[in-house]
Structure 1
Amino acid sequence: MVTDWKSLATAKREAILQSIPPKWRIAKIPTAEEQKDVTGAYAQEFLSQKEIEITETDAVGIAEKVAAGQWSAVDVTEAFCHRASLAHQLLNCLHETFFDAALADAKALDAYYAEHKKTKGPLHGVPVSLKDQFHVKNVETTMGYVGWIGTFEGKKEDPRQGTYESELVRELRELGAVLYCKTSVPHTLMAGETVNNIIGYTWNPKDRFLCSGGSSGGEGALIGFRGSPLGLGTDIGGSIRIPAGFNGLFGIRPSAGRLPYEGMANSMDGQNSVLSVVGPLATTARSVKLMVQSLLSQSPWLYDPLVVEMPWRQEQEDDVWNTANSALGEFTFGVLKTDGVVNPQPPVARAVQMVVKAIEKAGHKVIPWESPDHHAGITTTLKTWTFDGGKDVHDAFALSGEPIAEQISMSYGNAPTDQKTASDIAANNVAQRQWKKKYLDAWNSTASATGTGNPIDAIICPLAPYPAARPKGYRWYAYTVWVNGLDYTSVVVPVTNADKNIDKYEPGYTPVSDHDKTAFEDYDAEIYDGAHVSVQLVGRRFQEEKMLALAEYVGQLLGK
């Protein structure tokens, strides 16, 4: 039955705000004009020195401090609950808080440490935030849908409601992580901006005129604000990489089957041509590595039938650092500067060039990369999102009668369309497989151009045409979607910040397409000034260890 969606959404929105303790409320929320950047010194005004020290330490540092007995899990948890509360009031980045449960878990971890004189696991006492697709006991999962409020994935009186937990949540608890909040998403999950009818729009903490990305936008905003040291998102078209890049974070899109997805809420469940994957975002590359390595230590292939039995391969990481530290070693990168349809805006183009220069200065080689049939491959990938004609997402909207956000209707319209036949889907799968083979051959062919006898190690490329899109401005997904279509491993590396004094289009610039004209006209150097700018490093399938090490190395070259 369709209910009064506005009343439901308002009540839920107020409940989230009321869950924030009064002592952590901000008396007056400044407008973006009054306070564009709410990170750094502005955020610190609300925190004690100890809270600042804790929340501005990365996940690895926190784990080390707790393991050494220097910080208690309770103190760490309370500090991040406080900063997360500030983040939500300023950015609309939380869907759920469960601070009391988190503090109880932290207290139990401190008791375990006191009794056993050791940690429970490598994430002992580390707060971890979760995108609102993860099921956590006694915590609601709405995924941004008003019609999912008070239900289990839209189903009323489902026995799993309030008791069920996703497989990855179980593993995090085993590793000693403290779970304390779930973060905002665009309803459907299918947008590069985060907006829904419950919490509104999620803003970028570095530049509140811009979006935080999507669909893991709440994660990006929260971690960018330092309200979380380490979080988990998902990615089917860029949904980890876009928020990571827009918020100056490291993040990984692993290949499908590397990390467990079992038991999570999702859109279009059962569409298996291009799978959504789960992966971490964090303030440092080593923190992203800590999460991936920790989860793999739990043998997730024993609990998720789609996970490949592939433990952490230390030799891949070691190979990268041996090459990096050897006078004779050399990496070779390909660089994709533009997809030919939408050229990167000036800050992004500059960031790509900065990475190329840093790599070449360190003695490595960079060669041009031209993706074979780039847009044909993207077309086959995008088709997978609408095999069902949008039935899944429109059915979810129909539960409450809520309207669909413009950022979503651009892909799904305002009503379902005809579903594809099994033959249509099979034909698209064949086309996609043929594209993957063509890409594989092109990658292998670079061995003759590198000068090392080996093909390129990775591809440097933008993750979006924009440093961070303006509201309703995220219109071009071609820089991320190709990675999902190929199921490659990709890691985001923060590079620099937009600078209004140098990031300008060349005089007389002529857009190369209508889409490029839109991006060109959207660019405002004043609004973008100070925004984070990042790139992605793309490797082959199942090269998570190698790509994480390369990202850390390139980050070091850039001073990150």
Structure 2
Amino acid sequence: MCSNGDTLTSWQTLATAKREAILGSIPEEWRLAKIPTVEEQRNVTGAYIRQFLSAKEVEITETDAMGIVEKTTSGAWRAVEVIQAFCHRASLSHQLVNCLHETFFDAALADAKELDAYFADHGEPKGPLHGLPVSLKDQFHIKGVETTMGYVGWIGTFQGQKGDSRSMTFESEMVRELRQLGAVLYCKTAVPHTLMCGETVNNIIEYTWNPHNRNLSCGGSSGGEGALIALGGSPGGFGTDIGGSIRIPAAFNGLFGLRPTSGRLPYGGVANSMDGQNSVLSVVGPLASSAGGVKLLTKSILSAEPWLHDPLVTEIPWRRDLEAQTKDLIASSQLSVGFLDHDGAVAPHPPVKRALGLLRDLIVQSGNKVFEWQPPPHLLQRVNELTYKTWLYDGGADVRKDFALSGEPWAVQILDIWQERPQADALSIAENNRALRQCRKEYLDYWNSTAASSGTAERHRPADVFVAPCAPFAAARPGRYDYIGYTSVVNGLDLPSVVVPITKVDRTDDVVDTSYQPVSELDKKIQSDYDPEIYDGAPVSLQIIGRRHQEEKLLAIAEWLEGELKKGSLAT
């Protein structure tokens, strides 16, 4: 602790210096003279941030990833002008909501110049992502760039190890592939220390806010990614997900995000908490401003054949046939979609309930089939219980070790999770794994049983996908993310899931439901957190969940829904 009011502790000195270095990396001409209070400007996206940009910068940064590569791979836009525009907008974004951990704009501009020279010499792009700016969650290692993962004790080290030769030289496998594909890397985004939090908070950048509504959280743990993309500071990037850490920020920020099946995309060389825990694996996945952007990033990484370099990646190239079959199902009104409106533990807030109704109506109006998704509630709760146990196999030793490096305090949001507990032994880990395997089998059996209720014309064909909330709320209020069961159950079952933004909270339409009777004290607490005035304007999203390794199917459905939602203006 401080010895007096004027003296900073060692960790405070380090954290302050790092925080100031991030701001200091922003060119002087991009600095904002004043950051408005939330009362003065709740929503800093759209028209607000545009005022600080040129017309050309707005055009570039408000084009989605698909549109950008159409321009850069044809030579219509130079990679340099694209990355300059995004570096500017990312700099503004950080000042408004604290979303960046690292910037390396000069290196990005040098890479972009090389790409422009390559195009001039060869008359063709380097790869499918030629000139596309891609942001990365601060778990990915990049040469010449620090990785702190939100820990003060990791500053100036390699994952907390001083003098490690890999410091500032090592690169994650996906980083290598993105460079090979022609992407331009330029920043790394904020995370909560430990990564195990639905809000983004640490002692370096402090708190990352939701740019659509700065009363609320941007989500976590890929929260910096979500906030940056929502502000147009990136067209797309990659996060990780072990309990909802891609889907939560995608949902809270009105983005598309994919949690793939474990082993579909490469995780090799990515920093992590609890590394080596293999019962429920963290996965890498993309977030973007459009469904097409998510698909582009996914397809491009698969085209680099990551299974040749990461032993945990399954050899499944992008399957055009599955994508085409899904589009045919939709066109022929044979898509079957289950709806999980309540998981039996915590009910969704009124805006999320309205979003479920809007999406249900859209699918019915398209001629496709909907029905109630009703797996046994005790099974969902059991999966979550077993999943949470996997995160605590080491009794919290890993994260306590990293906090001890600097002596920094823990964010209040994670204190309950990481209280010191006994470490699990081999027998109890094996028992948990067996129980989780049995739950996955029971869930598979339920899925197969939906052939009787899905209403499909084809006999004995179970549901294609099901829809569920991402969280009980449109976004969490700071310090009040008390239930992650809607996302963590998907990790426990290892199912792929894609987030689709549906609408926004409307204080007039989304009034408090005074007739609702909570099913538990936790449910009562979460319902009491809802205030239409505080939530007004926040994005409302849902997740679409499929069978394992069916990412192509999910993304085809997401693209279709994106188009239909735009037609009906539900997402605005």
TM-score surpassing 0.5? yes
Structure 1 CA distance for aligned equivalents of residues 450 and 527 of structure 2 = 33
Q: Is the CA contact (8 Å cut-off) linking 1:397 and 1:403 kept in structure 2?
A: yes
The aligned counterpart of 1:493 is: 500
The aligned counterpart of 2:440 is: 436
Cα deviation digits, residues 44-89 of structure 1 (max 9, x gap): 0000000000000000100001122111100000000000000000
- Give the superposition deviation at 1:32: 0.8
Tell me if 1:510 matches 2:517: yes
Residue among 154, 179, 194 paired with 1:188: 194
What letter is aligned with 2:482?
R
- Give the superposition deviation at 1:320: 1.2
Aligned residue pairs, count:
555
The aligned counterpart of 1:47 is: 53
Cα deviation digits, residues 312-368 of structure 1 (max 9, x gap): 111010011122223xx4111111001122110000111011111100110011111
Structure 2 CA distance for aligned equivalents of residues 451 and 496 of structure 1 = 27
What letter is aligned with 1:207?
N
The aligned counterpart of 2:558 is: 551
Structure 2 CA distance for aligned equivalents of residues 386 and 324 of structure 1 = 42
The aligned counterpart of 2:122 is: 116
- Give the superposition deviation at 1:520: 1.4
Bigger mean CA deviation after superposition, 455-464 or 368-377: 368-377
Residue among 375, 388, 392 paired with 1:371: 375
The aligned counterpart of 1:133 is: 139
Q: Is the CA contact (8 Å cut-off) linking 1:463 and 1:536 kept in structure 2?
A: yes
Long gaps (5+) in structure 2:
1-8
Tell me if 1:340 matches 2:344: yes
SS at match of 1:173: helix
Residue among 481, 487, 496 paired with 2:488: 481
SS at match of 1:410: coil
Q: Is the CA contact (8 Å cut-off) linking 1:359 and 1:557 kept in structure 2?
A: no
Residue among 78, 82, 89 paired with 1:83: 89
The aligned counterpart of 2:229 is: 223
The aligned counterpart of 2:410 is: 404
Q: Is the CA contact (8 Å cut-off) linking 2:190 and 2:200 kept in structure 1?
A: yes
Kindly report the root-mean-square deviation, in angstroms, between the aligned alpha carbons of the 2 structures: 1.0
The aligned counterpart of 1:536 is: 543
SS at match of 1:75: helix
What pairs up with 1:136-535 in 2 under 5 angstroms? 136-326=142-332, 329-372=333-376, 373-413=379-419, 416-452=420-456, 453=459, 454-535=461-542
Structure 2 CA distance for aligned equivalents of residues 537 and 323 of structure 1 = 16
Tell me if 1:68 matches 2:69: no
Cα deviation digits, residues 388-434 of structure 1 (max 9, x gap): 00000010000000001111112112xx3210111110100010000
Bigger mean CA deviation after superposition, 240-249 or 508-517: 508-517
SS at match of 1:412: coil
SS at match of 1:535: strand
What letter is aligned with 2:475?
A
Structure 1 CA distance for aligned equivalents of residues 454 and 470 of structure 2 = 24
- Give the superposition deviation at 1:451: 3.0
What letter is aligned with 1:361?
Q
Bigger mean CA deviation after superposition, 173-182 or 361-370: 361-370
Structure 2 CA distance for aligned equivalents of residues 88 and 279 of structure 1 = 22
Structure 1 CA distance for aligned equivalents of residues 297 and 493 of structure 2 = 24
What letter is aligned with 1:352?
L
What letter is aligned with 1:557?
E
Structure 1 CA distance for aligned equivalents of residues 427 and 557 of structure 2 = 41
Q: Is the CA contact (8 Å cut-off) linking 2:494 and 2:548 kept in structure 1?
A: yes
SS at match of 1:12: helix
Structure 2 CA distance for aligned equivalents of residues 437 and 339 of structure 1 = 19
Cα deviation digits, residues 469-507 of structure 1 (max 9, x gap): 110011101100110001000000000000000101233
Structure 2 CA distance for aligned equivalents of residues 438 and 553 of structure 1 = 31
Structure 1 CA distance for aligned equivalents of residues 381 and 562 of structure 2 = 30
Structure 2 CA distance for aligned equivalents of residues 508 and 251 of structure 1 = 34
What letter is aligned with 2:541?
S
Structure 2 CA distance for aligned equivalents of residues 557 and 460 of structure 1 = 16
SS at match of 1:278: strand
Q: Is the CA contact (8 Å cut-off) linking 2:512 and 2:531 kept in structure 1?
A: no
TM-score (norm 1): 0.98
Cα deviation digits, residues 208-236 of structure 1 (max 9, x gap): 11000000000000000010001100000
SS at match of 1:52: helix
Structure 1 CA distance for aligned equivalents of residues 255 and 325 of structure 2 = 25
- Give the superposition deviation at 1:512: 1.9
Structure 2 CA distance for aligned equivalents of residues 80 and 389 of structure 1 = 42
Bigger mean CA deviation after superposition, 445-454 or 282-291: 445-454
